[in-house]
Amino acid sequence: MIKVAPSILAADPINLERDVRRAAEAGCDWLHVDVMDAHFVPNLAYTPDIVRRLKQTFDVPLDVHLMMDHPEILADAFLDAGADILTIHAEIDADIPALLEKIRRHGAHPGIALKPGTPLDAVNAYRDMADLILTMTVEPGFGGQKLDENVIGKMKALRDSGYTGYIEADGGLREDNLQILIDAGLTAAVMGTALFRNEDMPGAIERIHRMNRAG
């Protein structure tokens, strides 16, 4: 069954608890929390305190995506706050194996992410250390963008290579384009506006849960 991870970046920031509760009660599998440092991507969002309060308030696993030049600075803080999945980027200049190992030692699932233009080869050295590989389907930083279909081939190549962890996509995902991603190997869907602006979020999540890979 496809994991559905509503991105809280698309929630109303003034009514964040209300919107997240709506997603939790609609049957989502994870809550996706984008962390942005205004350097790695041109936006700024979310702190360990937000993750801590989400963990205290909702019984839904937290899928935390660190879009940061130096995630090693705050990795411990996000892990201590309650991140269940912690994803870092392959493009950073850091000791990626050490970070992935730290995440696992803490009891969380390590993930590695790729921007749309980054070749799949960039994760080859880390794939056996990661429980999740996030293929960004838009340039990270802002919600509401259109899905870059060039990433679909990257997802298919990853699955065909024998990778058995979660293949996650984030950016421009909607009910009407999910099937082609699932057929390429998608197993976890990050969705923002497509869910939070949907008046029938429970129905949307139920329909996505029923989607299966062709063949």
Report the distance separating Cα 163 and Cα 130, nearest Å: 10
Minimum mean pLDDT range among 95-104, 146-155, 178-187: 146-155
pLDDT at residue 128, as a whole number: 94
- The model's pLDDT over 168-180, given as tens digits with 9 standing for 90+, comes to 999 899 999 999 9
- The model's pLDDT over 178-212, given as tens digits with 9 standing for 90+, comes to 999 999 999 999 999 999 999 999 999 999 999 98
Report the distance separating Cα 24 and Cα 112, nearest Å: 25
**Residue 215 above 60 pLDDT?**
no
What pTM was computed for the model?
Answer: 0.96
Q: Of 69, 170, 183, 200, which is the active-site residue?
A: 170
Q: CB neighbours (10 Å) of residue 214?
A: 8
Distance from chain centroid for Cα 43: 17
170 is catalytic: yes
Minimum mean pLDDT range among 13-17, 41-45, 57-61, 85-89: 41-45
Q: What one-letter code names the amino acid at 103?
A: I
pLDDT at residue 141, as a whole number: 59
pLDDT confidence tier of residue 147, bands split at 50, 70 and 90: confident
Rounded to a whole number of angstroms, the CA Rg of the chain reads 16
pLDDT at residue 103, as a whole number: 98
pLDDT at residue 143, as a whole number: 58
Q: Of 19, 34, 49, 128, which is the active-site residue?
A: 34
Report the distance separating Cα 119 and Cα 190, nearest Å: 21
Report the distance separating Cα 4 and Cα 12, nearest Å: 19
Report the distance separating Cα 29 and Cα 23, nearest Å: 9
Residue in 98, 193, 99 with CA at minimum distance from that of residue 143: 193
Count how many residues are written for the chain: 215
CATH architecture of 3-209: Alpha-Beta Barrel (3.20)
pLDDT confidence tier of residue 142, bands split at 50, 70 and 90: low
Higher pLDDT: 82 or 149? It is 82
pLDDT confidence tier of residue 213, bands split at 50, 70 and 90: confident
Residue in 77, 75, 74, 65 with CA at minimum distance from that of residue 136: 65
